[in-house]
């Protein structure tokens, strides 16, 4: 079965920056819906009642109103009613006092800190935070700074909901219903200047579970416009949260009295009331706008204003701490007494449990519902689960004469309907538990497709009915038919489609090679699949680069050596002469990949007329008339020519010539017995590549 609750009150928007339309998620009960929306036909639908600024239920989101309250903080409130709905009021409100109330009373505020909700419309969550923390002082003698972000989260809201608010009762109900112990603010931090990021930073489930402190165990509704119910709640130590309209002109002096409260209010808001004083005819309340507003975050409100404008709300009666049973669990223990929890512990003779307290002379328990009682025994004043919005079930009455709807329920499904519980089982709708509502049950093991047991059997190796395939029976389908080159096609485990994990596509043409970025790759089958891929077989070395499908010297073999300076036909400066007369100059070029040619001319480019010999040397240039360096080759002078040529095979060179090494060559002309008596300039040759 599916439990549900009555329609909550109208939407309250606390602090927002802009307004936007709400989404409509699926729902099964009203409390699944955010803000003032109701669950109708499985969808959250906006209530269309007209907003009532002076109390009562109903209301739809109105226009956004913003105001700068100083300190760089802008308050944006929306017209909507946060008070309880008529159905929530029927569940029971703060009882009438058994006698005269004291002239003043205050909740214990030891250690209390004023919160700041910043620019998010979450005032109901912040007021609930304050009420829970104050109740902790009374109940456990220690203030707890509960995380408003966690309270907001438990109620089903997130950062996307900062543009909308919530009814107070919705926040209380979801906190109680979830039974999720709220963590301290130190565990889930809230930054008022960046609330969206704070709300998105949801701690892990383990952190929330381990750090949780308490949740709302019992709460009671505060009627609209009721001064006495507020006062009595404070006397009992129940921290009340109420909704009130905001007339900006009236709130500026931090004493809300109704002056200037003409016409429609500017907006609505949720506050936590903490004390009253009959002499001043004032309540004191704590706000959620930080300590920079009001009297360090607090202000006063006249009895007259409450009596005319209060929209009502709820009051925290008890917190349920981790590891400790809560009031209303049917067990009188864990420190509970008749005065603290008459729902579990009963009342002395002559008193009745009413509104969570023992009231002397109360008629609660006599079996007849008095006007101030929601019920008594079996007297429900004509109310049933059906009249309270449920589809079926049995209504009962708490010991304090408040309605107990735990036995009411809603149907989860239509009797006799079927659906797939999973791919291997079908379930049928019926009444399988102690209540009178329909729920899913009666599992039938079978292949379930489209909410019905299928006739075909998946994984029996035979393609049947609507099956795409079954085991190895692929109906003729192949990897190639699925757009691949090779491989083995398979059937998925549900017989609804193919698995192509064993299929593959060729990356290249087998037997070919390619070279890229100095790496030679060959195409073949190098892995377990049936397709071709590239694998590295070589890396270009010794100055080689990628040329076509493999490695080679730059510009082919012609790139093996390079004349660095005085490349023919550019001749260098003249060399030296032992006697300062005839001087020679040289230029060079690679005439073949491995043949160096050195060209020699006279300084004045005149022809050679005297026979002789030209000798090619390697090493540093000569200083005439010093002895020559290493002789590489010699040629006779061609008389009558202005340009002499000397060729040298440089590979093989006949000596070590390393990659990227540069050697210097020069030519000397024979002059008697001392060859370096006439010498050219040097030319430099670099080895760039070794094939």
Give pLDDT, residue 370. 87
Which is nearest to 338 in space by CA: 284, 400, 296?
400
Residues 6 or more apart in contact with residue 441 via CB below 8 angstroms: 427, 428, 429, 430, 432
Give pLDDT, residue 22. 27
Give pLDDT, residue 76. 61
297-344 residue pLDDT tens: 999 999 999 999 999 999 999 998 886 656 665 667 666 677 667 777
Whether omega for the bond prior to residue 248 falls within 30 degrees of 0, making it cis, is no
The architecture (CATH level 2) of 104-321 comes to Alpha-Beta Complex (3.90)
**Total number of residues shown for the chain:** 691
Give pLDDT, residue 477. 95
50-83 residue pLDDT tens: 333 333 333 332 233 566 777 667 666 645 677 7
SS3 assignment, position 675: helix
Question: Distance between CA 647 and CA 642 in Å, rounded?
Answer: 17
Give pLDDT, residue 135. 94
Give pLDDT, residue 56. 31
Q: Do domains 104-321 and 561-687 have the same CATH topology?
A: no
Q: Is the pTM of this model over 0.85?
A: no
Task: Quote the crossing angle between the two packed helices 123-140 and 168-178, to the nearest 10°.
Answer: 60
Q: Which helix (H) or strand (E) holds 526?
A: none
Give pLDDT, residue 280. 95
**CA diameter of the chain:** 151
Torsion angle of C-alpha atoms 99, 105, 111, 117, degrees rounded to 10: 100
554 phi and psi angles, rounded to 5 deg: -60, 140
For residue 225, is pLDDT > 70? Answer: yes
Query: What is the token pair recorded at 443?
Result: 């599992």
Give pLDDT, residue 525. 92
Residues 6 or more apart in contact with residue 460 via CB below 8 angstroms: 470, 471
Q: How far is CA 402 from CA 348, 354, 356, 363, in A?
A: 19, 8, 9, 13
For residue 23, is pLDDT > 50? Answer: no
Average pLDDT of span 360-376: 82
SS3 assignment, position 11: coil
- C-beta neighbour count of 504 within 10 angstroms: 20
5 phi and psi angles, rounded to 5 deg: -135, 170
Q: Are 527 and 502 in contact (CB under 8 A)?
A: no
Average pLDDT of span 91-117: 89
153-208 residue pLDDT tens: 998 888 887 766 778 988 898 888 888 899 999 999 999 888 888 889 999 988 88
430-450 residue pLDDT tens: 988 878 888 888 888 787 878
CATH for 561-687, options being 3.40.190.10, 2.60.40.1940, 3.40.50.300, 3.90.660.10:
2.60.40.1940
Question: Distance between CA 46 and CA 24 in Å, rounded?
Answer: 9
Give pLDDT, residue 304. 94
Confidence of residue 2 (pLDDT cuts 50, 70, 90): very low
Question: Distance between CA 208 and CA 615 in Å, rounded?
Answer: 94
303 phi and psi angles, rounded to 5 deg: -55, -40
Give pLDDT, residue 627. 64
Give pLDDT, residue 33. 53
Residues 6 or more apart in contact with residue 197 via CB below 8 angstroms: 159, 191
Domain ranges of the chain: 104-321, 417-453, 456-505, 512-552, 561-687
């Amino acid at each position: 079965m599916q439990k549900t609750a009555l329609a909550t009150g109208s939407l309250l928007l606390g602090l927002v920056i802009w307004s936007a339309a709400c989404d409509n998620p699926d729902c099964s009960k009203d409390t699944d819906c955010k803000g003032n929306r109701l669950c109708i036909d499985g969808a959250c639908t906006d209530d269309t009642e007209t907003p009532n600024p002076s109390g009562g239920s109903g209301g739809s989101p109105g226009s956004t109103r913003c105001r700068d309250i100083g300190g760089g903080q802008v308050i944006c409130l929306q017209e909507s009613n946060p008070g309880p709905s008529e159905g929530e009021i029927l569940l029971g409100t703060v009882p009438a006092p058994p006698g005269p109330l004291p002239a003043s009373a205050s909740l214990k505020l030891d250690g209390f800190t004023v919160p700041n909700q910043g620019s998010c419309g979450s005032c109901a969550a912040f007021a609930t935070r304050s009420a829970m923390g104050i109740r902790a002082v009374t109940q456990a003698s220690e203030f707890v700074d509960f995380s408003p972000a966690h309270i907001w989260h438990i109620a089903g809201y997130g950062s996307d909901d900062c543009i909308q608010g919530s009814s107070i009762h919705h926040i209380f109900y979801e906190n109680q219903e979830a039974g999720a112990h709220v963590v301290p603010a130190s565990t889930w931090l809230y930054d008022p200047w960046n609330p969206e990021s704070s709300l998105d930073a949801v701690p892990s489930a383990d952190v929330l579970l381990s750090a949780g402190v308490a949740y709302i165990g019992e709460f009671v509704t505060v009627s609209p416009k009721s001064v006495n119910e507020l006062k009595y709640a404070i006397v009992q130590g129940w921290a009340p949260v109420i909704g009130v309209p905001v007339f900006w002109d009236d709130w500026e002096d931090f004493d809300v009295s109704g002056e200037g409260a003409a016409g429609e209010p500017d907006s609505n808001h949720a506050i936590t009331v903490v004390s009253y004083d009959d002499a001043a005819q004032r309540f004191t309340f704590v706000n959620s706008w930080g300590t920079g507003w009001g009297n360090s975050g607090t202000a006063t409100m006249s009895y007259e204003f409450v009596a005319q404008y209060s929209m009502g709300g709820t009051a925290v009666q008890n917190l349920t701490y981790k590891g400790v049973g809560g009031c209303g669990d049917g067990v009188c223990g864990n420190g509970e007494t008749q005065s603290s929890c008459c729902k579990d512990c009963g009342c002395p003779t002559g008193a009745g449990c009413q509104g969570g307290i023992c009231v002397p002379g109360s008629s609660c328990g006599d079996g007849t519902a008095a006007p101030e009682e929601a019920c008594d025994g079996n007297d429900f004043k004509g109310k049933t689960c059906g009249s309270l919005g449920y589809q079926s079930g049995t209504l009962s009455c708490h010991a304090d004469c408040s309605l107990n709807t735990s036995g009411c329920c809603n149907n989860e499904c239509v009797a006799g309907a079927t659906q797939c519980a999973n791919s291997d089982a079908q379930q049928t709708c019926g009444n399988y538990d102690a209540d009178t509502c329909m729920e899913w049950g009666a599992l039938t093991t079978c292949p379930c497709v489209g909410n019905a047991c299928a006739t075909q059997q998946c994984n029996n190796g035979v393609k049947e009915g609507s099956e795409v395939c079954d085991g190895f029976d692929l109906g003729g389908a192949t990897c190639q038919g699925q757009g691949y080159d090779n491989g083995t096609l398979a059937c998925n485990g549900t017989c609804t489609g193919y698995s192509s994990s064993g299929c593959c596509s060729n990356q290249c043409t087998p037997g070919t090679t390619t070279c890229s970025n100095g790496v030679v790759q060959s195409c073949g089958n190098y892995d377990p699949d049936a397709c071709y891929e590239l694998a590295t077989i070589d890396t270009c070395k010794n100055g080689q680069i990628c040329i076509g499908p493999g490695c080679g010297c730059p510009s082919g073999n012609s790139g093996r050596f390079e004349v660095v300076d005085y490349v023919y036909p550019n001749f260098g400066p003249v060399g030296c002469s032992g006697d300062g007369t005839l001087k020679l100059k040289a230029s060079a070029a690679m005439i073949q990949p491995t043949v160096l040619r050195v060209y020699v001319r006279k300084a004045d480019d005149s022809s050679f007329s005297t026979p002789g010999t030209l000798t090619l040397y390697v090493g540093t240039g000569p200083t005439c008339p010093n002895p020559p360096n290493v002789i590489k080759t010699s040629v006779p002078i061609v008389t009558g020519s202005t340009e002499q040529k000397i060729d040298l095979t440089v590979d093989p060179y006949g000596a070590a010539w390393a990659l990227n090494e540069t050697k210097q060559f020069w030519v000397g002309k024979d002059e008697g017995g001392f060859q370096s008596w006439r010498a050219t300039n040097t030319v430099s040759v670099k080895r760039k590549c070794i094939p």
